[in-house]
């Protein structure tokens, strides 16, 4: 059974042949922010694609180091086109442990909430710095696959705006919690006036 991860790996093989190690690096570079998967999963996907006739592997040596290079087959290109022909796909799913902690911070104390919000802001700043660095790379050098820049631009814009939104929210939430004296209405938490506004 092919999954979205299978097709993501197949799409990368459509760009060029890769070893599993290179595939993992490229998944980290290009897909981690929109389709994060464990390395163990990524190392198995090329074998699954080979078993389905959608990719083939060839053994290469660098000195004594043996590696398998995977490449897409004509059947794989057809399968990828058929998958792309299916309209839409599942929308975004947020998996955000720190936000779960914020949602239930009233079971703890204000120091815990503030520490979680600081950590979220710090992570958002790190993500923004990485985004700026990547955008600068694309703008100045075109990145490793400049022929793919039109498609990269469509996804990169959304990811940049998500990172900007996360940072804005983290700064807002941290400033709001700085005014509180506790994490419940009885101990000083309050509903921010603009929390439920529609704009």
pLDDT digits (tens, 9 = 90+) for 175-199: 999 999 999 999 999 999 888 887 6
Report the predicted TM-score, pTM, of the whole model to 2 decimal places. 0.80
Summarised one tens digit per residue, pLDDT across range 26-52 is 988 888 888 888 888 888 999 999 999
Domain count, the chain: 2
Single residue among 85, 114, 141 that ends a domain in this structure: 85
For 59-74, b/e burial (b = at least 16 CB within 10 A) is: eeeeeeeeebbbebbe
> Which pLDDT score is estimated for 29?
87
Tell me which residue range forms the domain holding 164. 97-187
Q: The domain spanning residue 68 has which CATH number? A: 1.10.10.10
pLDDT for residue 199: 64
Q: Mean pLDDT score of the chain, rounded to an integer?
A: 93
* Region 133-151 average pLDDT: 93
Domain endpoint, select from 57, 85, 113:
85
**Residue 152: is its pLDDT beyond 80?**
yes
- Which of 38-42, 43-47, 123-127, 156-160 is the least confident region? 38-42
For 4, list phi and psi in degrees, rounded to 5. Answer: -60, -35
Q: What is the mean pLDDT of residues 128-155?
A: 93
């Amino acid at each position: 059974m092919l999954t979205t991860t299978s097709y993501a790996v197949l799409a990368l093989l459509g760009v060029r042949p890769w070893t599993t190690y290179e595939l993992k690096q490229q998944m980290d570079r290009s897909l981690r922010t929109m389709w994060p998967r464990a390395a163990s999963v990524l190392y198995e996907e090329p074998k699954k694609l080979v078993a389905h006739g959608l990719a083939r592997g060839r053994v290469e040596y660098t000195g004594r180091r043996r590696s398998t290079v995977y490449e897409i087959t004509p059947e794989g290109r057809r399968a990828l086109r058929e998958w792309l022909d299916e309209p839409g796909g599942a929308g975004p799913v947020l998996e955000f442990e720190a936000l779960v902690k914020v949602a239930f911070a009233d079971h703890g104390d204000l120091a815990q909430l503030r520490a979680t919000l600081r950590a979220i802001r710090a992570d958002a700043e790190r993500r923004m710095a990485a985004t700026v660095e990547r955008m600068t790379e694309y703008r100045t050098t075109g990145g490793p696959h400049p022929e793919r820049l039109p498609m990269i631009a469509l996804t990169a814009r959304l990811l940049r705006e998500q990172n900007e939104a996360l940072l804005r929210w983290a700064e807002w939430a941290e400033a709001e919690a700085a005014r509180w004296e506790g994490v419940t209405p009885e101990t000083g938490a309050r509903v921010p006036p603009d929390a439920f506004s529609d704009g």
